[in-house]
Structure 1
Amino acid sequence: MTFGIPIGGTVADPHVSWIRDVTPGTPEGCQECLQIGSPWVHLRLCLTCGHVGCCDSSPMRHARGHAGVVGHPIVQSFQPGEDWRWCFVDEAFV
């Protein structure tokens, strides 16, 4: 699977310019949850830097925290079989 490559169609979201061809930093799970021993529900991949964080349904919501602190707006689902992307700035699928 290639991460960060646009998934067909034209996207109006201006934050897609932040998308890069990234390598997941911690493909085995959420970076912060792995460090503190916290569970997660689903994983999200930052398409700017490759940070792997947990979703908003997870106790710690590290993907959203990363977006807020670092300012990287778009994540892609890091779940097998899913290929959707989400912009935290616009709160919309891209």
Structure 2
Amino acid sequence: MAICEHLSHADDPPAKTPEGCEECLATGGRWVHLRRCLECGHIGCCDSSPSKHATAHYHAVGHPVIQSFEPGESWRWCFTDNQMG
């Protein structure tokens, strides 16, 4: 299976809030793991976290590709094509 177009053209922006999930930090929430949007650098919490801010960011703005923001992990995920890269 070929890598999807979104994953092949994903950017590498700096993290907007390297200290944690942008929304959780603002509201006092908590997260399990962090994900970075590869279009704008938004840091959101994963779907195992109570608020699922990374997925909410995709639905709100349509940026399709996230990357794990966990130390030692570099996998990427395309929401649009449900494909890992």
TM-score by length of 1: 0.84
Give 1:45 deviation, angstroms. 0.3
User: What's the CA shift string for 1:21-76, capped at 9, x where partnerless?
Assistant: 30100000000000000100000000000000000000000000001111000000
- Flag as ranges the 4+ runs of structure 1 deviating above 2 A: none
Give 1:12 deviation, angstroms. 2.4
**Which structure 2 segments of 5+ residues have no match?**
none
Matching residue of 2:14: 23
Aligned pair 1:85/2:76, yes or no?
Answer: yes
Q: Secondary structure at the match of 1:38?
A: coil
Instruction: Indicate which of 19, 37, 40 corresponds to 2:28.
Output: 37
Matching residue of 1:3: none
Q: Which deviates more, 17-26 or 68-77?
A: 17-26
**Which structure 1 segments of 5+ residues have no match?**
1-10
Q: Indicate the percent of aligned positions where both proteins have the same amino acid.
A: 57
Matching residue of 1:5: none
Question: How many pairs were matched up?
Answer: 84
